[in-house]
Amino acid sequence: MTTSFQYLDVSEYPAPEPMQLTLEAIQNLIPGQFLHLHHRRYPKLLFERLDQRGFAYDIRRDANDCEVFIWRKDDADAADRAVEIASSFPVWSQ
């Protein structure tokens, strides 16, 4: 299976559009696919929603922006690839 990803840049959108666009995008993920989310801020309100919907994530930093890699918890292929790509970014620390 080839693992692919969707890229979503919400860095220019005002709230609540980043949350809405992200939740819409994750519903369209197919097996083996993950979402790479680029956000100008740490989207702390998003993570509870992801947990409730059965998604896992890895949070990274790119300069002053936040990179979030999101996949379905039961999708090992997407998880492996997401973490592999995420590892090229510094770990997010508050």
Return all residues near 86 (Cβ < 8 A) that are at least 6 apart.
58, 60, 67, 69
Rounded CA gap, 91 and 46, in Å?
18
pLDDT tens digit sequence for 16-25: 999 999 999 9
Question: Which CATH fold topology does 4-86 show?
Answer: Translation Initiation Factor IF3 (3.30.110)
Q: Which pLDDT score is estimated for 93?
A: 82
Q: Which pLDDT score is estimated for 42?
A: 94
Per the structure block, which two tokens stand in for 42? Answer: 């740490």
Per-residue pLDDT of the chain (94 residues; tens, 9 = 90+): 566 999 999 999 999 999 999 999 999 999 999 999 999 999 999 999 999 999 999 999 988 899 999 999 999 999 999 999 999 999 988 6
